[in-house]
């Protein structure tokens, strides 16, 4: 949806709220076809109203479907259906595995007394969708490929704790010396130094297995991945249209009730919402927040509200003037009225952020971020002391995902409170946007979000702000911050690790390379055909829990 239309909708909504009226149903508004990709034909995601087990699910266009290269929501949401990880994360945020957890690939995991050797035993009899055995070599194959810098995989950083990683990076070898197949069902992982969250991190796509067939034709594998999960590809990836899957009949985990899934690709969540209301879509994992006033009227009991681990933030290019002065960064953070934005724009579907760590994760501290408190007077003082910003301030965000209104609200706060008159917006479609940000091709604040890959403070701090991290787009580097993270990684207990991570968190919150803006909740919507809906720790659909009404 175009920015002007979103603003118009917002103003109308606020006016109605002020007058005590409710906002009209979104179903009465025509979908913005200009905001969606070329849509699939009706047959691609259609289902038989008599009660078959096919469903259509909202999706966005992934950057990749190769597990070692998937570290963004569009790809993760999709391949979660195709793979079963070694571990899952339970409601207490602990890694779990074994026979009592059918949708895990590990039957046992043991850690040595020095915390450096992890022995993983795989469940017996599991196979990939092409019939290849899911064995120790299939995991070692994937992690070795992902760790090789020549392969330029997004998840390279996840293997940095494994012994031999540095040798692979400098090109002296292509093998991780810390990986060994003891027998076909046993993987021995030796770490360079202890890493307290390692077992929990095994839930991530970086640690999915890879069959031999993948390396025989990587391009073909990316277009039609071969996983070990409850669903297999029904056809190749139809870019900007759909990704179709069918249930894997030989799956050894929990048998899903759903028999076919069409991941229908949209560029615009509002268009998807109207398709949900029209009966052309069964699940939207995250409803567009700008239509929050219509959720209950439109969907009733089929709105599912679940906690999320999301941190929405604005990154800053800290190596470029004027953002290399932390007073500018602190001033920008303090000048944002998060509470008003959360109430007026997000309709309380998100909460003001006051830490880099989401409240769902152990170690979060309420009010940890001093500069997240709205203080326009102090913000202007710091801003002026640092010399302000000369010339235009260019703010970057991806279009079509509902970010237009809140990013403009932030910019208006900066104009009003800091006197920045010239603010422009740089918008791109989601795929191009991520590529630009990841390659450092941005000139000012950029919108991004992060959800925990595994349940640890470290997973917010190290990837986003650790020196040299693949996801550290801001360019932030602080040796003291890095040292505290390393100390936490090597701590004897998780409690000791948490205390060290909190000290690192405090350093970063003072330096403010990223501006925390909001913590997310997941508002999902389903059609009347769906029951038993739930999300995992990462906020992705538990496809084996979805039930389809007859």
What is the structure's pLDDT at 532?
A: 87
Q: For the range 22-25, what are the long-range contacts, defined as Cβ-Cβ under 8 Å and sequence gap of 24 or more?
A: 22/293, 22/297, 23/293, 23/294, 24/294, 25/277, 25/294, 25/297, 25/298
Asked whether the predicted pLDDT for residue 32 surpasses 80, the reply is no
Give the pair of three-digit tokens for residue 17.
């709220």
Query: Alpha-carbon distance 58 to 269, whole Å?
Result: 8
Percent of the chain with pLDDT over 90: 76
Judge whether 87 and 200 are in contact, CB under 8 Å: yes
What is the structure's pLDDT at 288?
A: 87
Residue 18, judged by CB atoms within 10 A of its CB (0-12, 13-18, 19+), counts as exposed
Asked whether the predicted pLDDT for residue 418 surpasses 80, the reply is yes
Judge whether 84 and 256 are in contact, CB under 8 Å: no
More confident residue, 41 or 241: 241
Judge whether 90 and 199 are in contact, CB under 8 Å: no
What is the structure's pLDDT at 196?
A: 87
Asked whether the predicted pLDDT for residue 34 surpasses 50, the reply is no
Asked whether the predicted pLDDT for residue 420 surpasses 80, the reply is yes
What is the structure's pLDDT at 290?
A: 81
Query: Alpha-carbon distance 350 to 365, whole Å?
Result: 17
What is the structure's pLDDT at 405?
A: 92
More confident residue, 9 or 423: 423
What is the structure's pLDDT at 31?
A: 34
What is the structure's pLDDT at 402?
A: 79
Tell how strand 242-247 and strand 393-398 pair up.
unpaired
What is the structure's pLDDT at 537?
A: 87
Asked whether the predicted pLDDT for residue 456 surpasses 90, the reply is yes
Tell me if residue 107 falls in helix, strand or coil. Answer: strand
Report pLDDT digits (tens) over 106-117.
Answer: 999 999 988 899
Total residues found in the chain within this entry: 550
The model's pTM is 0.78
What is the structure's pLDDT at 356?
A: 98
Cα dihedral 155, 158, 159, 160, rounded to 10, equals: 120
**Cβ neighbours of 457 (radius 10 Å):** 27
Grade residue 42 by pLDDT with cuts at 50, 70 and 90.
Answer: very low
Asked whether the predicted pLDDT for residue 12 surpasses 50, the reply is no
H-helix or E-strand spanning residue 412: helix 404-418
What is the structure's pLDDT at 35?
A: 38
What is the structure's pLDDT at 400?
A: 79
Asked whether the predicted pLDDT for residue 137 surpasses 60, the reply is yes
Percent of the chain with pLDDT over 70: 91
Tokens 């469940």 belong to residue = 123
Give the pair of three-digit tokens for residue 358.
């989401």
CA distances to 70, 85, 98, 411, 450 from 198, rounded to whole Å, are 19, 14, 17, 39, 19
Q: 517-532: buried (b, 16+ CB within 10 Å) or exposed (e) per residue? A: bbbbbbbbbbbebbee
Task: Classify residue 93 as left (phi > 0), alpha (psi -120 to 50) or beta.
Answer: left
> Mean pLDDT across the chain, nearest whole number?
89
Asked whether the predicted pLDDT for residue 419 surpasses 70, the reply is yes
Report pLDDT digits (tens) over 322-342.
Answer: 999 999 999 999 999 999 999
Asked whether the predicted pLDDT for residue 125 surpasses 90, the reply is yes
Report pLDDT digits (tens) over 141-185.
Answer: 999 999 999 999 999 999 999 999 999 999 999 999 999 999 999
What is the structure's pLDDT at 5?
A: 32
Query: Alpha-carbon distance 249 to 270, whole Å?
Result: 35
Tell how strand 393-398 and strand 423-428 pair up.
parallel
Tell me if residue 504 falls in helix, strand or coil. Answer: helix
Residue 131, judged by CB atoms within 10 A of its CB (0-12, 13-18, 19+), counts as exposed
Give the pair of three-digit tokens for residue 489.
């990684």
Q: Of the candidates 144, 162, 146, which has an alpha carbon nearest to the alpha carbon of residue 154?
A: 146
Judge whether 426 and 395 are in contact, CB under 8 Å: yes
Query: Alpha-carbon distance 523 to 276, whole Å?
Result: 14
Judge whether 309 and 358 are in contact, CB under 8 Å: yes
Tokens 């800290």 belong to residue = 318
Judge whether 39 and 241 are in contact, CB under 8 Å: yes
What is the structure's pLDDT at 520?
A: 87
Report pLDDT digits (tens) over 249-303.
Answer: 999 999 999 999 999 999 889 999 999 999 999 999 999 888 888 998 999 999 9
Query: Alpha-carbon distance 335 to 344, whole Å?
Result: 17
């Amino acid at each position: 949806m175009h920015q002007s239309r979103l603003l118009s909708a917002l103003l109308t909504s606020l006016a109605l709220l002020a007058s005590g009226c409710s906002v009209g149903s979104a179903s009465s508004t025509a979908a913005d076809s200009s905001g969606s990709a070329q849509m699939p034909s009706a047959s691609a995601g259609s289902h038989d109203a008599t009660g078959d087990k096919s469903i259509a699910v909202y999706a966005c266009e992934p950057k990749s479907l190769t597990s070692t290269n998937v570290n963004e929501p569009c790809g993760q949401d999709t391949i979660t259906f195709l793979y079963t990880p070694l571990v899952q994360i339970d409601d207490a945020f602990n890694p779990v595995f074994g026979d009592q957890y059918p949708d895990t690939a590990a039957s046992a995991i043991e850690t040595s007394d020095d915390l450096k050797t992890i022995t993983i035993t795989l469940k017996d009899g599991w196979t990939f969708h092409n019939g290849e055995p899911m064995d120790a070599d299939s995991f070692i194959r994937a992690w070795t490929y992902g760790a090789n810098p020549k392969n330029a995989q997004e998840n390279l950083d996840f293997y940095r704790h494994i012994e031999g990683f540095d040798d692979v990076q400098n090109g002296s070898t292509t093998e991780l010396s810390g990986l060994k197949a003891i027998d076909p069902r046993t993987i021995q992982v030796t770490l360079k130094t202890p890493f307290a969250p390692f077992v929990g991190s095994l839930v991530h796509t970086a640690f999915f297995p890879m069959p031999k067939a993948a390396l025989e034709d990587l391009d073909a594998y990316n277009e039609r991945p071969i996983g070990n999960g409850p669903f297999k590809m029904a056809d190749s990836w139809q870019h900007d249209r759909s990704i179709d899957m069918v249930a894997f009949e030989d799956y050894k985990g929990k048998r899903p009730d759903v028999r076919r899934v069409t991941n229908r690709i949209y560029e615009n969540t509002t268009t998807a919402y109207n398709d949900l209301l029209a009966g052309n879509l069964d699940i939207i994992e995250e409803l567009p927040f700008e239509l929050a006033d219509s959720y209950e009227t439109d969907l009733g009991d089929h709105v599912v509200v679940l906690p999320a681990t999301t941190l929405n933030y604005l990154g800053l290019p800290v190596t470029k003037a004027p953002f290399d002065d932390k007073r500018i960064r602190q001033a920008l953070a303090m000048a944002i009225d998060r509470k008003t934005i959360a109430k007026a724009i997000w309709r309380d579907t998100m909460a003001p952020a006051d830490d880099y760590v989401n409240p769902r994760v152990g170690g979060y501290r309420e009010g940890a971020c001093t500069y997240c408190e709205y203080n326009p007077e102090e913000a202007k003082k710091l801003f002026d002391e640092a010399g302000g910003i000369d010339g235009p301030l260019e703010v970057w965000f991806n279009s079509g995902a509902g970010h237009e209104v809140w990013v403009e609200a932030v910019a208006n706060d900066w104009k009003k409170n800091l006197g920045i008159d010239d603010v422009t917006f740089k918008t791109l479609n989601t795929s191009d946007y991520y590529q630009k940000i990841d390659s450092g091709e941005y000139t000012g604040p950029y919108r991004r979000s992060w959800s925990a890959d595994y349940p640890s403070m470290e997973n917010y701090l190290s990837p986003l702000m650790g020196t040299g991290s693949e996801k550290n787009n801001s360019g932030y580097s602080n040796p003291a911050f890095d040292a505290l993270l390393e100390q936490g990684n090597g701590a004897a207990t998780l409690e000791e690790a948490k205390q060290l991570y909190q000290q690192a968190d405090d350093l970063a919150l003072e330096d403010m390379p990223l501006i925390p803006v909001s913590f997310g909740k997941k508002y999902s919507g389903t059609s009347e055909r769906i029951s038993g809906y739930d999300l995992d720790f990462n906020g992705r659909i538990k496809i084996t829990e979805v039930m389809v009404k007859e």
